[in-house]
Structure 1
Amino acid sequence: MAHQPQIKIPATYIRGGTSKGVFFRLQDLPERCQVPGPARDKLFMRVIGSPDPYSAHIDGMGGATSSTSKCVILSKSTQPGHDVDYLYGQVAIDKAFVDWSGNCGNLSTAAGAFAIHAGLVDPARIPDNGVCVVRIWQANIQKTIIAHVPVTNRQVQETGDFELDGVTFPAAEIVLEFLDPSDDGDEGGSMFPTGNLVDDLDVPGVGTFKATMIAAGIPTVFVNAADIGYTGTELREAINTDPTALARFEAIRVAGALRMGLIKTPEEAATRQHTPKIAFVAPPQDYTASSGKQIRAGDVDLLVRALSMGKLHHAMMGTAAVAIGTAAAIPGTLVNLAAGGGERSAVRFGHPSGTLRVGAEAERVNGEWTVTKAIMSRSARVLMEGWVRVPGDAF
């Protein structure tokens, strides 16, 4: 039996924030994968090593977590006033699909850096030394992201002393601005799809919970930790080793997706695992982060734990951080109340790996809350570059 040889595709493996993924320039992909469709999805699944019934990604570039099962495509922007178009695919680990329904905030950091690395930014816009402002069009959600990328000798400055909880080594700081993150773009709805800052969310077979459902950064369902039997200090093992807990969180997520109008039937949630996110919040208290670092109640405004692709995240998704910052800025949401209430333009929250600060500018216009931008700092570093290989018949 004849077998197809492997093919080589130019690719770069990059850490962005607390995630990492395989980055491609659109023009480097095989021709049939340069357009959306089954061929592109199959290619990305094979690159990552999915679907993998062993949940190990031994035969691929993935790391068998939601933070490391990601592919990104960048190209020169088709949008006026932007440098690059950035398209993000969240690859399922043990199922055969790629979710294109949302953004990855962490890899948005790497998108800005990769745009320069890959020659997609006009050289005239790159300073000899200083900060290059990369204008990114996030194609999944039709939003603008501004990345402030440090450069030295016209090259991305990757090393530095900026420390990010959840990332082992320091690197150079990249500041991200998420412009007009008040809805998730493809749905075109309001920031609060139900029209309320807090709802009673009925979850069949589980119960009824107070919930803030917000579409900012990424659609997110927030519930109070105490209402579901948690303290907000939990680490991954406490949730991810408990199948009953994971099933309950998925039921809450599905109920929230239905109330937010993201899906029409519960069955649709199986093919939309990336969104919405589910998170639980609590007032500040002391806890020990996964690294052993002691987090004091006085270090943070509130505690947040969030799930991504059905598992508790080891730190915090960047897009969920935007949702947290936005909700914290709006008096009366569960996030705002957990942080002590009142008006605020920035919040520092505790997550399983440590703390993170995110700012948001919120205002009320004609009775509706809007957010003009959310800001946070991350870092990015190229881990490997060259070619990724896949069997020629994989897609």
Structure 2
Amino acid sequence: MTAQTTAPTAPHSSNAHVDPAAQVAAAGFVPVQTRSERPHSFEPADFGAPTGREVNWKHTPVARLTGLFEVANPNDGVNYTFGAGEQYIAAPLAVGTAPRGEFFRGEDITAAVAWQGATEALHVHIPREEEVAEPILIAVEGRGADLRADAHIVIEALEHSVATVVLQHTGSVQYSQNVEIIARAGSQLTVISLQQWQDDAIHTAAHQARVDADAVLKHFVISFGGGVVRVNPTLELSGAGSEGYMYGLSYADAGQHLESQVYLHHKGAHTKGDVLYKGALQGQGAHSVWIGDVLIGADATGTDSYEANRNLVLTEGARADSIPNLEIETGDILGAGHASATGRFDDEQLFYLQARGISEEEARRLVVLGFLTDIVQRLGIPALESELLAAIETELAAVSA
């Protein structure tokens, strides 16, 4: 562990005034205040089972995740199949075999469990200067809601390569997953994680990416299915001139919990980052969580960064939690900002459409499609864009039924 995680022993009672902060500091324990200060470990025991009071678990239904707090045995809850680009699947990586672990560090218990449970990591290897025309598709199919699986996936784009990798999750399972992404100098990499699970699936994932000099990474988290889906992406812009774009789309139905804790770290000079997550919610108990942390480091001069989260609540009984955070360690930047908005339909938009002869139901449909399509169109894969737009239409039909 890189930070102390046990609280100090409580002092003896006294009638004198006590400063809790001074007590904590005197005991040598400093609470975790920012994302960059969180402890890291590959050992699940170092974290312990969360209680729901921890800063990174307090918005999560911890009781529904207890099956993921121990290594899967047997580890056979999913099947992997490969579409176009199977030739880029390299030999699996054991623990200690590069590039596995070159950048990834366990940040919570489920990431540590997945590291331990995945004795061999799937390795997607894009050779130097290779331009892959078709998306590399990795289909992950759950075999049953009562089954468990742990996984570690390494996606490595060598210098000046160009590729798109799609992780498509279907079926049902209890699944802990790590995705380690390395975009080496000058590469252009797109990674899309698509969650289309059945309603009883449980999925936690830690995506951690490093982007080297002059490389560009586009990262998408798109969650429509699953009972609890918690995909937390970390993107470090380590090299000078690197760029990172983090996009997310979620549509939560009754009883669903869809969560992403996003971390964008500007480490190198003249880096550019953009974060935009959008979500729609409908039905009793539908819940989405977005926590966005941006750190502009002391050496990240010339940085240009922005993060935003937008949520559209379609029915009563749905809830969206949205928490943006921005930490800046240098004043020599081009710009940085963050924004968050959660609300219902815009009455002016509805009035405008209805005044032109469009029914209220159709007007609401058009507003939602216009709101969410922005993310879909950034994918750059026409077939997948059509599939997702059809899925949104299906969701809208359910709320109007």
Query: TM over 0.5, yes or no?
Result: no
- If asked which structure has higher relative contact order (CA below 8 Å, sep 6+), I would say 1
The alignment's TM-score, normalised by the length of structure 2, stands at 0.26
Q: Which has the larger radius of gyration?
A: 2
The alignment's TM-score, normalised by the length of structure 1, stands at 0.26
Structure with the larger strand share: 2
